[in-house]
């Protein structure tokens, strides 16, 4: 299949249309030879006996009807190898670090196949990130997909890096790797990640895919797929526990929208394609643990919410697919609290299977629930105090109001390099809860109060 066609009849945005081809497969990889000698790559979007539509990754700039089109006869594949570790690749999988090409152990379709639900092992291994608002109240487990919902200008990158540095499964030293995929982030942001990876030596056990802000948007559509393909390969062929960081999902979705518009599709909410849920699911669902295999893929992606709006289609559809979300709050950030994670809208759905006796500690759930209840009520009371003044509050309510402050100041706030063990986190929890009257601890079984409450422990 090396035949070159010069039958382009139309070029529209990132799309080209050709006629009079041999039968071409749906989703095939396409090489386009430009008159100036450069080549571009693309993918077949629609194929019929009469017309073939191709989406061009690097954009259609410089293309004309003289350009030659070669169909590769196969779908997009990523050459994979264990030697990818330590390498920096482009968003399309080409080496960027001046190193040699990857000598493939295998070539794998980047779209991946869907994991058979019957083969899945429910994730349950607690990952300690050292951050209390995650470990204590929104616990991450191996094989989970738990994104950070943030906003522009908030320290989501710091948080992601702190997690990448600190994440461990206590008591386990199984091989661990990071796959990092940048999608449309700035060069400066990318540098920030790269420097940290280099400084901490993390790069050796990382595979980096970079599609930066000035790289073609269309390429962004395959970047995360490349990254996840590499991750799955390391996890399921080389028994590694892989943490995948995709950033920024919002840029990915913008690229999807752009493609949809170019194809003149009927747009869904706010102009994003109607199939965006399914498309995002084809990324997020590539996380998990397989019965009988040692490795795992955990996703901790970053998404900046346009206008800090959690109901915007990008965070909204993501939230419907991922197993929770960690929400970074501008309000806490302005208060000077790091990490400014607001636990109330945050959630880890797999928390229940990762905590408790034998995993973290028997009182974990109760402590977490009680802190939530107290913090939620305390924040409501802040609203009320603003109107009626603190004096109008009952004694009980004043205590709860103070608890909310304590929670932010001692539980949420921690150092950028402070790596709290789960015991430390729960201890902080009990310390601040003990400032409340015991009768208000309605979510905690008496047996835990007797076992862990500082007032009981001391006597």
Ligand X SMILES: Nc1ncnc2c1ncn2[C@@H]1O[C@H](COP(=O)(O)OP(=O)(O)OP(=O)(O)O)[C@@H](O)[C@H]1O
Contacts of another protein in 246-285 (CB under 8 A) = 265-269, 274-275, 277-278, 281-282, 285
Q: What is the DSSP letter of 203?
A: G
Question: Please, what is the Cα angle at 124 between 118 and 130, to 5 degrees?
Answer: 145
Cα separation, 452 vs 458, in Å, equals 10
Cα separation, 110 vs 79, in Å, equals 10
Site for another protein in 47-76 (CB under 8 A): 47-49, 74-75
| Interface residue with another protein, options 27, 79, 95, 306 (CB under 8 A) | 27
Binding mask 263-302 for ligand X (x = CB under 6 A): ----------------------------------------
103 touches, from another protein, ligand X, none (C-beta below 5 to 8 Å by class): none
Residue 339 Cβ vs another protein, minimum distance, rounded to whole Å: 19
- Is residue 169 within 8 Å of 125, Cβ to Cβ? yes
Q: Which of 286, 271, 168 is nearest to 235 (CA)?
A: 286
Which CB atom, from 93 or from 184, has the smaller least distance to another protein?
Answer: 93
Residue 95 Cβ vs another protein, minimum distance, rounded to whole Å: 26
Under the binding rule (CB under 8 A), the answer on residue 2 touching another protein is no
Under the binding rule (CB under 8 A), the answer on residue 316 touching another protein is yes
Under the binding rule (CB under 8 A), the answer on residue 295 touching another protein is no
Site for another protein in 148-207 (CB under 8 A): none
Under the binding rule (CB under 8 A), the answer on residue 286 touching another protein is yes
Cα separation, 149 vs 335, in Å, equals 19
Cα separation, 184 vs 209, in Å, equals 11
Cα separation, 207 vs 445, in Å, equals 46
Under the binding rule (CB under 8 A), the answer on residue 439 touching another protein is yes
How many other CB atoms are there within 10 angstroms of residue 141's CB atom?
26
Number of residues that bind another protein (CB under 8 A): 81
Under the binding rule (CB under 8 A), the answer on residue 347 touching another protein is yes
Residue 349 Cβ vs ligand X, minimum distance, rounded to whole Å: 3
Which CB atom, from 34 or from 115, has the smaller least distance to another protein?
Answer: 115
Under the binding rule (CB under 8 A), the answer on residue 33 touching another protein is no
Element (H, E) at 52: strand 51-56
3-state secondary structure of 252: helix
419 touches, from ligand X, another protein, none (C-beta below 5 to 8 Å by class): none
Site for another protein in 319-338 (CB under 8 A): 319-321, 323-325
Under the binding rule (CB under 8 A), the answer on residue 392 touching another protein is yes
Under the binding rule (CB under 6 A), the answer on residue 320 touching ligand X is yes
**Burial of 237 by CB count in 10 Å (0-12 exposed, 13-18 middle, 19+ buried)?**
middle
How many other CB atoms are there within 10 angstroms of residue 117's CB atom?
8
Residue 369 Cβ vs ligand X, minimum distance, rounded to whole Å: 9
3-state secondary structure of 211: strand
Question: Which residue has the closest beta carbon to ligand X?
Answer: 349
| Interface residue with another protein, options 42, 130, 143, 340 (CB under 8 A) | 143
Element (H, E) at 234: helix 223-238
Which CB atom, from 321 or from 384, has the smaller least distance to ligand X?
Answer: 321
261 touches, from another protein, ligand X, none (C-beta below 5 to 8 Å by class): none
| Phi, psi dihedrals of residue 89, rounded to the nearest 5° | -120, 160
Under the binding rule (CB under 8 A), the answer on residue 386 touching another protein is no
450 touches, from ligand X, another protein, none (C-beta below 5 to 8 Å by class): none
Site for another protein in 361-380 (CB under 8 A): 365, 369, 372-373, 376-377
3-state secondary structure of 334: helix
29 touches, from ligand X, another protein, none (C-beta below 5 to 8 Å by class): none
Which CB atom, from 208 or from 426, has the smaller least distance to another protein?
Answer: 426
SS (H, E, C) 420-441: CCHHHHHHHHHHHHCCCCHHHC
Residue 414 Cβ vs another protein, minimum distance, rounded to whole Å: 22
**Burial of 459 by CB count in 10 Å (0-12 exposed, 13-18 middle, 19+ buried)?**
exposed
Under the binding rule (CB under 6 A), the answer on residue 26 touching ligand X is no
Please state, in angstroms and as integers, the Cα–Cα distance from residue 389 to each residue in 143, 379, 382, 395, 400, following that order.
Answer: 47, 14, 9, 13, 15
Q: Which of 74, 146, 86, 69 is nearest to 110 (CA)?
A: 74
Binding mask 101-120 for another protein (x = CB under 8 A): --------x-xxxxxxxxxx
Cα separation, 340 vs 166, in Å, equals 18
Binding mask 340-379 for ligand X (x = CB under 6 A): -------x-x------------------------------
Site of interaction with ligand X (CB under 6 A)? 320, 347, 349
């Amino acid at each position: 299949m090396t035949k070159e066609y010069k039958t382009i009849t139309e070029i529209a945005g990132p799309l080209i249309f050709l006629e009079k081809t041999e039968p071409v497969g749906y989703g095939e990889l396409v090489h386009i030879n430009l008159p100036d000698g450069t080549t571009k790559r693309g993918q077949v979007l629609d194929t019929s006996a009469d017309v073939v539509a191709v989406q061009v990754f690097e954009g259609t700039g410089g293309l004309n009807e003289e350009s030659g089109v070669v169909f590769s006869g196969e779908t997009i594949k990523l050459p994979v190898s264990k030697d990818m570790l330590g390498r920096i690749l482009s968003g399309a999988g080409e080496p960027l670090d001046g190193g040699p090409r990857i000598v493939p152990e295998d070539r794998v379709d980047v779209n991946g196949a869907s994991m058979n639900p019957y083969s899945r092992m429910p994730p349950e291994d607690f990952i300690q990130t050292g951050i209390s608002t995650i470990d204590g109240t929104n616990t991450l487990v191996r094989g989970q997909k738990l994104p950070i919902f943030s906003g522009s200008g908030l320290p989501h990158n710091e948080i992601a890096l702190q997690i990448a540095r600190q994440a461990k499964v206590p008591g386990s030293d199984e091989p661990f790797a990071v796959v990092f995929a940048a999608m449309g982030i700035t060069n400066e942001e990318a540098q920030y990640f790269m420097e940290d990876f280099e400084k901490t030596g993390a790069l050796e056990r990382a595979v980096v895919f970079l599609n930066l802000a000035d790289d073609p948007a269309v390429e962004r559509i395959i970047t995360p797929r490349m990254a996840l393909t590499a991750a799955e390969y390391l996890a399921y062929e080389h028994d590694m526990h892989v943490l995948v960081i995709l950033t920024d999902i919002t840029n990915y979705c913008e690229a999807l929208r752009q493609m949809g518009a170019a194809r003149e599709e009927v747009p869904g909410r706010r102009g994003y394609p109607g199939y965006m849920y399914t498309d995002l699911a084809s990324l997020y669902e590539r996380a998990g643990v397989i019965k009988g295999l040692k490795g795992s893929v955990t996703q901790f992606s970053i998404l900046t919410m346009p206008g800090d709006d959690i109901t915007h289609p990008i965070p909204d559809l993501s939230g419907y697919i991922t197993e929770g979300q960690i929400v970074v709050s501008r309000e806490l950030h302005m208060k000077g609290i790091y990490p400014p994670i607001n636990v109330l809208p945050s959630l880890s759905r797999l928390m229940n299977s990762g905590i408790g006796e034998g995993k973290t500690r028997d009182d974990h759930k109760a402590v977490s629930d009680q802190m939530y209840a107290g913090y939620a009520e305390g924040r409501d009371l802040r609203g009320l105090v603003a109107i009626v003044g603190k004096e109008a509050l009952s004694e009980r309510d004043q205590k709860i109001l103070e608890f909310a402050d304590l929670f932010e100041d001692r539980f949420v706030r921690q150092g950028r390099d402070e790596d709290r063990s789960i015991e430390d986190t729960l201890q902080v929890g009990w310390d601040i809860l003990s400032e409340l009257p015991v009768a208000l601890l309605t979510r905690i079984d008496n047996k835990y109060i007797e076992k862990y409450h500082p007032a009981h422990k001391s006597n």
